[in-house]
Structure formats: C-alpha cells, structure tokens
Amino acid sequence: MKKRSTLLKTKACPAWLLIFSVFLCISSAIAQPTNQTFNSNGTYTVPAGYTAIVTIEAWGGGGGGGTNSGNAKGGGGGGAYASTTTTLAPGNYTVTVGTGGAIATAGGTSSFTTLVIAAGGGSTTTATGGLGGAVNASTGTTLYAGGNGGNGATATGTRGGGGGGGSATSGGTGGNGGNGVAGAPGTGGTGGTGFGPGGDGANNSGTPDAVAGTAAGGGGGGRGNNGNSSTGADGRVIVTVNSFTLPVKYGSITAYSKQSGIQIDWTIYSENNCSHYEIERSADGTNFAIIGSVLSNHSANGSTYGWLDLNPLPGVGFYRIKSIDLDNKAGYSNIVKVNLKKDQNDISVYPNPVTGGYVSFQSADLAKGNYRAKIFNNSGQEVYNLEFSHQGGVLTRFLQLPGSIKPGVYSLQLRSEGSSVINKIFMVQ
C-alpha cells in the first residue's frame, strides 16, 4: 500500500487514543540578543536558539603621558578603532576592554574574542610623543589608527608638555596631539581630537597640569618642566544588534491511533525563522529516521501541525519533530512513544515514496535468524539482493538502491531461514 502524508489541524486527543502526549516545558520568556556597551571586561551572550547579526566596534586604551621626571615630555597616543559586522551563533563571547595607560605606559588592547582587536596607544619616556594605536596591530573589517601624542618642547628654558593623541573614530584616524611650546610661559600642547579626545599637555609651571585622556581611548597629556604627566583613558567595546532570528519554540507533541495509522500533532509557539519540520520515527527511541516533512507557516505567533503515518511500525514506535531553520540549524521536540498492537514480525518501509536512492526497513521485534532481503520491480524482476544475520529484537536496515532503478512500484521481500516471508510495497520517485 502506498504510504502518504496528510496535513491536518491539531485536535484534542480522543478517549480511545492508544498512547500518551508529552508537553514540553517552555519558559514564558526567552532573553533576546541586546545592544551592549562594555567599559570594562565582560561577556557578551547570544541566548540559546538565537542567531544575531551584530556590528562590533572597539577602541584601544589611550597611552599615558611621558615619564614624571626631567624636562617636558610627550603626550600618549590615542587608541585605534576596529569594527566588523558578523553573524553570531548562540553562546558566550569574551570581551576585553583595554585599560588606559598609566604614566609612561602604553594603553591596553580591546577585543571581542579574536573577531575584532583594537590596539592601544603608545607612551613615551622622552619628549617625543607616543604613537597612536596601529592599524597593523588591529583586526577587523574597518580599521583606523589613533592619533600620535604631541612632542614636549625641547628648547632651553621654559617648556610645555605634548598633548595626548585622540582615539580614532568610526570614520577616520584620531587627531595628533599638539606640541608643547618653549619659552615663557611654556604652554602645553592641546589634545588631539577623536572619539576620545587626548588630554592637554602641562604648562612649564605645572599650572595647569597635564590632563588625562577622555574615554574612549584618548591619550594622556605630557608634563611640562614641572608638574606631572597624565594617564590615558580606558578603551571601549560596543555591540549593536542589527537583527536576530527567533528560535523555534515547541509547545506540545501528541501521537495517537487514527485510520489504521498513527497521527502526530504538534504545536509551535514561534517559528518565523523556520524553513520546515521533519517527522522522525524510531523503533528503539535512539536511532531515528525521517518519514515525512511539513513546510513551516513562518508564524511569530505560533501554529499547529499534523502528519499521519499510514505505515507505522508494529508494536512500539517513537516519534519526534525536527525543526530546520532557514540557516539550516536544527532543533528537536520531545519524544513520544506509541504501542500499536500488530504482528511483531511485520516490517515498515520508509520513506515511501523513496527519493534520493536510499530506502530503509524497520521492525520493532524481529526474531533472531539469518535473512535475505530482495527487491522486485513491477514486472517481477529482482533488482536488489541482500543477506544478513539478525540477533533478534529491533531491526533497522538502510539500503542504497542501484542507480539503474527507475521510478515505479517495487516490492520488498524479507525471507527468513524458516521460509517465513514478509512483503511490502513501496514506490520510487
């Protein structure tokens, strides 16, 4: 008998159903991927079941101004900028935010795993300003260098410190810090412009003193002849969610006797990213095979589905639903068990009709022994022959049909040593 599937609306289980239904526990709400700004180390999470398209931006930490001794010193370099737009699977992602450099210390590197890396700005121990965070030390689709720190004045007499370099922006490199000025009153250089501006360098007298860089990633100003240098600003990482896909959320799955077969019904709470559902069956609850499929309604508000297995396994059988997303990710429902009272030596052939050149046969409880499986075409010609031994109990066999087999009606004959014969009709498309 030709096996077919029927799409039906879910109904309440009748009193005469042979088996039970299993309801899945679904939380009332599932957290969604969100925008997040990191000013310190942390973890970005894409919740289970979701896929998110995000833009990741990172700024390295600003370098600190030059050493706090001697004559005027240069300013620290600004942090680099790095960004990329990518798709994130469910999981936890490590975020590192580069710390602003202390005096005479480079700024730290900011990163989102290894996908995005933004170099920190350099520092200095001399009057020459620290270099901005470099592009060649950064990773991403879009990269810009931080501004260089300004130089401290070196002429004799009063000397101002160099201004800190600005961090890069999303559209260009950071501005360089201004150079300190020699001669009374020994003015410090101005901080460079950027996403995080650099701090001004100190005047010769130390009044005003050097100014720290501004977040994210501004370099610190350098000292004048007197006073102190300043620190760079911490970097930053920003994750912006452009879009995300909802996971399939299962409600219930039931299976019961109907029209000499087994009806499988299931409900879905959300499925807008689902391509289709595959109905899977097993004789042992572990090894499942596809016996049918149903296209998704792509509903964000839920749907109900049904599929009728007109060639069920004899005795005990197990069913589950496999969801296939548009990006080919899979999810599973709970498993339901049925017990259909049939001849325990009966077999089931699937899929039916056969596509792709593979056919399987299965039995819930086949007696121990040696068997021969033969396949005949509609003219009675043998087209396949297989001998095998079976230790008894659950049987599943996968057969690759010869490439010469043409579409049509075929019969599978299973014969045991005791001449017991089982015949099943199936079609090849």
pLDDT tens-digit profile of 355-381? 777 788 877 677 788 888 888 888 788
Q: 411, 424 in Cβ contact below 8 A? A: yes
E-assigned strand segments in 61-121: 81-88, 91-96, 110-112, 116-118
Give the model's pLDDT for residue 7.
Answer: 37
CB-based burial label for 337 (10 Å; 0-12, 13-18, 19+): middle
- Give the residue-averaged pLDDT of 217-230: 96
Q: What pLDDT score does 121 carry?
A: 98
Calculate mean pLDDT across residues 292-318: 84
| CA pair distance 52, 33, nearest whole angstrom | 7
Cα(282)–Cα(313) distance, rounded to whole angstroms? 9
Q: Which tens digit of pLDDT belongs to each residue from 129-153?
A: 999 999 999 999 999 999 999 999 9
- Least Cα distance to 392 among 283, 280, 261, 282 occurs for 283
pLDDT at 18: 37
Overall average pLDDT of the 309-334 stretch: 83
Encode pLDDT of 388-410 as tens digits. Answer: 888 877 777 878 888 888 888 88
Indicate if the pLDDT at residue 49 is higher than 80: no
Where does 121-228 show beta strands of DSSP type E?
Answer: 142-144
Of 254 and 137, which is predicted with more confidence? 137
pLDDT score for 243 = 83
- The lowest-confidence range among 51-65, 79-93, 108-122, 255-269 is 255-269
Q: pLDDT at residue 228 above 90? A: yes
Mean pLDDT for the chain overall: 85
DSSP codes, 273-334: TEEEEEEEEESSSSS-EEEEEEE----SS-EEEEEEESSPPSEEEEEEEEEEETTS-EEE--
DSSP-assigned states of every residue in 331-371: EE---EEEEE-S-TT--EEESSSB-TTEEEEEEEEEPSEEE
Averaged over 339-349, what is the pLDDT?
65
The more confidently predicted of residues 331 and 1 is 331
Residues 159, 153: contact at Cβ < 8 Å? yes
Predicted pLDDT of residue 400: 82
Task: State whether residue 135 is helix, strand or coil.
Answer: helix
Tell me the per-residue pLDDT of 182-213, one tens digit each, with 9 for 90 and over: 998 999 999 999 999 999 999 999 999 999 99
What's the DSSP call for residue 169?
Answer: B
Lowest mean per-residue pLDDT among 2-6, 53-57, 118-122, 196-200: 2-6
- Is-above-0.85 flag for pTM? no
Does the pLDDT of residue 26 top 70, yes or no? no
Beta-carbon neighbour count of residue 406 at 10 Å?
Answer: 8
345 has pLDDT over 70: no
**Comparing 422 with 159, which gets the higher pLDDT?**
159
Among 168, 188, 167, 362, residue whose Cα is nearest residue 280: 362
Q: Which residues contact 419 (CB under 8 A, 6 or more apart)?
A: none
Between 155-169, 341-355, 377-391, 408-422, the lowest mean confidence (pLDDT) is in 341-355
